[in-house]
Structure formats: structure tokens, C-alpha cells
Amino acid sequence: MENDGKQVCVLLVEDDPGDQKLIKTALMNQGCEINLTIASSGETAMDYLKMSAEDAVRYSRPSLILLDLNMPGMGGKAFLKKIKADEDLCSIPVVVVTTSDSETDIRECYASHAAGYIQKSAVPEEFRDVLKRLTRYWFSVSALIKS
């Protein structure tokens, strides 16, 4: 995508520090400048989004959310439903990145308007390859709403 001077902000909702690191590295290796915010729980992510609605200068509104499903407290599916029911936040595409391969999870996430459902690979090299394809689609081919 051409550099239009605007920044792509990504909110990663993920409780596993190892996966956080892998995803962060994959995002940082992109050609465009990415402002990454990491939330370790659905609740923290909701708090961040509320703060971003009040003060978009300090807390950039994400252009894309990468969401784990299985987290303590508010799970990924509840978070997704909440975002998509919110008039202001529903335009943010949410990609699910999870270890779950349950058909129920896949169906529920697409029914809640996930913009992709990606199963984490246990092999780091394979997971890096998956993230490379994910970032190429979202940051080189698809337009995003930038802040």
C-alpha cells in the first residue's frame, strides 16, 4: 500500500507472552509503520478502546484487531460480540488468531463478523509464515481505516 503519511494501528489481544512476541516481530518486519498496542485480556482491550474513543491523540484507534479466543476473564468470542454490537467500534476488522480448531468456534466467529479465522501453528517457523501472509493481505492489499 502506498505510504499516505497515516499510521496503521493494530490492537493485539493476546494473553500468551510467547505468541505476543512472535506476532509483534512479524508486524514490525512490515514495510509500513505500525503502531502496535498489546492487551493481555479482553477487559484491558475494552478499556483501551474506551480510552481511544475519549482521547484519540494519546490512544490511537486501531485499524485492525488481532484476537486470541481462549483468555482468562472475558474470552475472545465475548469481546468480538461486544465490539460488533458497538455502533462506533463495529467498523474495525477483527481477525481471530487462536489455537482452537473447533468447528463451533469457527462458525460462531464468522457469524459474529470476524474478518478471518486463523489457527496458530505450534511450529514457530510455520506460524511466522502464516503471519507473513496475514500482514501482506491486511497491510499491502486491503485498505484500512487509518487514524
Partner 1 sequence: MDIYKTVVIMLIEDDLGDLKLIRMSLREQRIANTPITATSAEEAINYLMRNKTSEIAPMPDLILLDLNMPGMGGKEFLRRIKSDPDLKTIPVVILTTSDSDKDILESFKLQAAGYIKKPVNITDFQEVMQTLTDYWFTICRHINYEPDRQVSKCSDC
- The verdict on 142 binding partner 1 (CB under 8 A) reads yes
All cell numbers assigned to 39: 492487551
8-13 and 94-98 beta bridge pairing: unpaired
- Establish how many alpha carbons lie within 13 A of residue 11's alpha carbon, considering only the half-sphere containing its beta carbon: 31
Please say which residue, 22 or 134, places its beta carbon nearer to partner 1.
134
**Cβ partners under 8 Å of residue 121, min gap 6:** 127, 130
- The verdict on 133 binding partner 1 (CB under 8 A) reads yes
CA distances from 27 to 36, 83, 109, 136, 142 (A): 8, 23, 23, 10, 15
Q: Which helix (H) or strand (E) holds 98?
A: strand 94-98
For partner 1, which stretch binds (CB under 8 A), given 17-25, 37-45, 74-82, 89-97? 89-97
Nearest to 48 by CA among 84, 85, 22, 10: 10
For partner 1, which stretch binds (CB under 8 A), given 20-28, 39-47, 65-73, 115-123? 115-123
Q: Which of 84, 86, 128, 147 binds partner 1 (CB under 8 A)?
A: 84
For partner 1, which stretch binds (CB under 8 A), given 12-20, 25-33, 44-52, 108-116? 108-116
Q: Which of 51, 53, 56, 90 binds partner 1 (CB under 8 A)?
A: 90
For partner 1, which stretch binds (CB under 8 A), given 15-23, 30-38, 70-78, 103-111? 103-111
- Establish how many alpha carbons lie within 13 A of residue 129's alpha carbon, considering only the half-sphere containing its beta carbon: 6
Q: Which stretches of the chain bind partner 1, using CB under 8 A?
A: 84, 90-93, 101, 103, 106-107, 110-111, 113, 115-119, 121, 126, 129-130, 133-134, 136-138, 140-145
